[in-house]
Amino acid sequence: MPTTIQRVGVLTGGGDCPGINAVIRAVTKTAIYRYKARVFGIEDGFLGLVENRIGELTSMHVSGILTRGGTILGTNNRCNPTRYYTGDDKDGKPIFTNVIDRCLETIEANRLDALIVIGGDGTMSCAAPIAEAGVDCIAVPKTIDNDVVGTDITFGFLTAVSTATDALDRLHSTAMSHHRVMVCEVMGRNAGWIALHAGLASGSDVILIPEIPYRIETICEFVERRMHRGWGFSIIACAEGARAVDGQQVVADVDPTKPEPVRLGGVGQCLAQEIAQRTQIEARTTVLGYIQRSGTPTAADRVLATQFGHHAVELMMSGARNRMVVMRDGQLGDIDLRCAAGKQRLVSLDDPLLAAARAVRTCFGDNA
Ligand code: F6P
């Protein structure tokens, strides 16, 4: 098969998620077995590119990693080469420098012909200027949040949904025994995909997502009604980005040196307190946190990740440049990687899942 690409660099950026290793394995094996190319793993995302930390990946290195969570290459969500944090000025303000040249030097020093970049919208934003500087890049979308624009699904999402569903299922028995409202806060940033899917799968009574701001009065009326009509408990699946109609998202911390400075978290606790105060029903919170990002990928995520990794190499070897692998209507495809940079795919208000959930009397905290 004629191709000029012989040395492929691969990196993983942003938060980790189950299935990344399955992509690395598929990329490495496809490149080596089908194209006799060599693959080089870049450590800790773009930081490894800036600091020239690279090592060759052989088929031995990727053997047995299909089932492992995390990423064998390490990752980083602090390093954006166009805005690289180098310290604070005398007033304590962060200083940022453009270090794209250092990335290009690393690529040249290691004679990399092309890069495969595995990441979310933040990683696509980092990859876009490197691609514009003339480096051939193919991107693979990843995140548990399922919010990458242009693809119907990202690997990691279904594993996170399965973990969250299991937690919500378990919460039923203790909620029932104590006649409580149990709020379970799940991840997702500004998108409600995990809460919507896990909430629906677990039969949660209330699902709160950022796309549908809630009224606390509506939630309280709903849980009180359930209490009085004999159910005696309520389960609330709450996205970390959920917010009240007249309120703000709850922020866990802000770090101006990070490409994405705001980390969400804490809405579950606020909500439980407010429900308890207003209704006198006991309420408790469980924050699932990083459990959702950890552990072995589900079979479906292993399959998707393997398809994405294989397709990325096939695209690269066929001469495609600066594209991102996508899955649309069950078909593998690709789009310009810049389309996904810095944007998020949110739950649309006409998503059929919302209609299905409402039909089985799920409360979204709005008045619909
Ligand atoms: O994007 C994945 C995600 O897990 C979000 O759901 C969450 O808000 C965020 O990452 C947490 O990021 P960090 O790794 O910086 O704590």
Topology of the domain covering 159-294 = Rossmann fold (3.40.50)
| Stretch 192-205: mean pLDDT | 98
Residue 342's pLDDT is 86
The angle that helices 121-132 and 100-109 make with each other, rounded to 10 degrees, is 70
> Token pair of 366, please?
């709005």
Which residue out of 145, 161, 291 has the highest number of ligand 1 atoms within 8 Å of its CB and is therefore the one to mutate?
145
- State the pLDDT at residue 90: 92
> Would the CB of 264 count as within 6 Å of ligand 1?
yes
The string over 317-336, giving b where at least 16 C-beta atoms fall within 10 Å of a residue's C-beta and e elsewhere, is beeeebbbbbbeeeebebbb
Q: Is 145 a catalytic residue?
A: yes
Residue-wise pLDDT for 155-176, tens only, equals 999 999 999 999 999 999 999 9
As to burial, measured by CB atoms within 10 angstroms (0-12 exposed, 13-18 middle, 19+ buried), residue 10 is buried
CB-ligand 1 contact for 293 (6 Å cutoff): yes
Cα of 189 to ligand 1 centre, how many Å? 7
Where are the chain's structural domains? 7-155+297-339, 159-294
135-147 per-position pLDDT tens digit: 999 999 999 999 9
Question: 75, 293, 294, 345: which to mutate for ligand 1, most atoms within 8 A of CB?
Answer: 293
Q: Are 158 and 298 in contact (CB under 8 A)?
A: yes
- The Cβ of residue 33 has, within 10 Å, a number of other Cβ atoms equal to 10
- Taking only the tens place, the pLDDT of each residue in 305-339 is 999 999 999 999 999 999 999 999 999 999 999 99
pLDDT band at 80 (very low <50, low <70, confident <90, very high): very high
Q: Mutation test of ligand 1: which of 12, 16, 189 has the most ligand atoms closer than 8 Å to its C-beta?
A: 189
Q: How far is CA 311 from CA 88, 99, 193, in A?
A: 42, 30, 25
Per-residue pLDDT of 105-120, as tens digits, reads 999 999 999 999 999 9
The predicted structure's pLDDT at residue 367: 75
The percentage of residues in the chain with a pLDDT greater than 70, rounded to a whole number, is 99
Is the shortest distance between the CB of 142 and ligand 1 below 6 Å? no
**In 3-state terms, what secondary structure has residue 2?**
coil
3.30.1490.20, 3.30.750.24, 3.40.50.150, 3.40.50.450: CATH of 7-155+297-339: 3.40.50.450
Q: Is 187 in the pocket of ligand 1 (CB under 6 A)?
A: yes
239-274 residue pLDDT tens: 999 999 999 999 999 999 888 899 999 999 999 999
Nearest-angstrom CA–CA distance, 43 and 29: 19
pLDDT at 28 over 80: yes
Q: Is 114 in the pocket of ligand 1 (CB under 6 A)?
A: no
- The verdict on the CB of residue 77 being under 6 Å from ligand 1 is yes
Q: Please tell me if the CB atom of residue 18 comes closer than 6 angstroms to any atom of ligand 1.
A: no
The first and second tokens of residue 224, run together, are 């009180």
Please give the structure tokens belonging to residue 113. 């012909």
DSSP string, 100-120: HHHHHHHHHHTT--EEEEEE-
77 CA closest ligand 1 atom index: 15
Q: Is 80 exposed, middle or buried (0-12, 13-18, 19+ CB in 10 A)?
A: buried
pLDDT at residue number 68: 97
pLDDT computed for residue 250 by the predictor: 97
Per-residue pLDDT tens digits for 31-70:
999 999 999 999 999 999 999 999 999 999 999 999 999 9
Q: Which of 16, 145, 147, 301 is catalytic?
A: 145
Q: How far apart are CA 236 and CA 176, in angstroms?
A: 13
| pLDDT given for residue 13 in this prediction | 95
Please check whether residue 103 is in contact with residue 134, taking contact to mean a CB–CB distance below 8 angstroms.
no
Three-class secondary structure assignment of 311-326: HHHHHHHCCCCCEEEE
Give me the pLDDT at residue 259, please. 87
Mean pLDDT of the chain: 96
The two domains 7-155+297-339 and 159-294 share their CATH topology (first three levels equal): yes
Looking at residue 108, what is its pLDDT?
A: 97
Per-residue pLDDT band at 1 (split at 50, 70, 90)? very low
